[in-house]
Amino acid sequence: MEFSAAQIAQIIGGSVEGNAATTVSSFGKIEEAVAGQLAFLANPKYEEYLYNTKASVIIINDTQVLKEPIQATLIKVADAYSAFAALLEQYQKMQSQQMVGIQEPVYIDPTAKKGTDIFIGAFAYIGQNAQIGNNTKIYPNAFIGNNVSIGNNTIIHPGVKIYHDCVIGNNVVIHAGTVIGGDGFGFAPQADGSFKKVPQTGNVIIEDNVEIGSNATIDRATIGSTIIKSGAKLDNLLQIAHNVEVGNNSVIAAQTGVSGSTKIGNNVMIGGQVGIVGHIQIADGTKINAQSGVSKSIKTPNSAVTGSPAFDYTAALRSQALSRNLPEMEKRIKALENEIKLLMQKLI
């Protein structure tokens, strides 16, 4: 999509200085923008870039005093940062609103129910008795299993796979390649050393306003539901095992794994590549540092932990620092041993 400086000025209520017909088609940071991009200047620290940026159009505060002539077209507004942020948001909305209707070919079971103003991309599969809410978009090559229910204003990106009987809420975003509702990893050891599959008959419930990154896996419950509660944000390549619960507005960074039946509270923040064992509780407001391994329940709300096995953040940092100094510590012990030996010889 291409916009002229005049069009942008109209959207954000700004005034143009320079060639109002100059067009831009994407956004750039003022320090690295190229021709055809729109940038902004709000932080005085970046003012130097204003005079040599390659951006074609720049949004600036109307209080900004110019020290040199500027090649780019300027749009002056009261608050450049807010105006730019508002534009970004509107752009994102427009991007997604472009897609409407049902492309061909798709596979939609006759028993599936479709809301209004939906988009279903080519090669998407909608199973028996599936329900797609209003304004919801199912991108190409997505798989929506039998009896899956998806709410309103939800975006299912390309190649997402949602197994049968799962429930997806309103305003949910699931990025490409993510798998919702695969079988939990449950196998009963047999006398001959082989394993017998434990049937995984539950489902996954994704509540409203959840966003899930790309190529993540959220397994269905053995019995009952694996639940991602309202407002939670999960990053790429995450592993959520069967019967796990993730609380409201909790945030989990990429490549973290949560083992079976663990309950994560509300407003928890978990870094990347964290591992959490099964059948434990993580209290509300807990902060878990990247690459930690959590092996026990965290019962005190708003704790911070790090390390593998994880413990109190501040204490762990002190231990980690000393751990680096082990060669030094070993030398001190050696010196003490020598001195003691000397003393012993003198005395005994």
**Active-site annotation, residues:** 242
Q: Is position 7 an interface residue for a second copy (rule: CB under 8 A)?
A: no
Residues 6+ apart with CB under 8 A from 53: 30, 31, 33, 39, 72
Give min distance, CB of 74 to a second copy, in A.
19
Q: Is position 191 an interface residue for a second copy (rule: CB under 8 A)?
A: no
Q: Is position 157 an interface residue for a second copy (rule: CB under 8 A)?
A: yes
- Among left, alpha and beta (phi > 0; psi -120 to 50; other), residue 54 is alpha
State the maximum Cα–Cα separation within the chain, in Å, rounded to a whole number: 97
Q: Is position 183 an interface residue for a second copy (rule: CB under 8 A)?
A: yes
Placement of tokens 């079988």 in the chain: 183
Sole window of 6-14, 15-23, 50-58, 152-160 interacting with a second copy (rule: CB under 8 A): 152-160
Binding letters toward a second copy, positions 41-80, x by CB under 8 A: ----------------------------------------
Q: How many Cβ atoms are within 10 Å of 264's Cβ, its own excluded?
A: 27
Identify the H or E element spanning 86.
helix 80-97
Sole window of 9-17, 48-56, 112-120, 208-216 interacting with a second copy (rule: CB under 8 A): 208-216
Strand 195-197 to strand 37-41: parallel, antiparallel, or no bridges (unpaired)?
Answer: unpaired
Among 275, 282, 283, 288, binds a second copy (CB under 8 A): 275
Among 253, 280, 283, 298, binds a second copy (CB under 8 A): 253
Which among 59, 84, 89, 55 is positioned nearest to 71, based on CA atoms? Answer: 55
Cα dist. 286→28, 31, 71, 117 in Å? 36, 37, 50, 40
Among 58, 72, 151, 165, binds a second copy (CB under 8 A): 165
Which three-class secondary structure state does DSSP give residue 169?
A: coil
Using CB under 8 A as the binding rule, the residues of this chain from 111 to 140 that contact a second copy are: 121-123, 125, 139-140
Among 133, 151, 202, 265, binds a second copy (CB under 8 A): 202
Among 141, 301, 304, 313, binds a second copy (CB under 8 A): 141
Q: Could you check whether the bond before residue 301 is cis, i.e. omega within 30 degrees of 0?
A: no
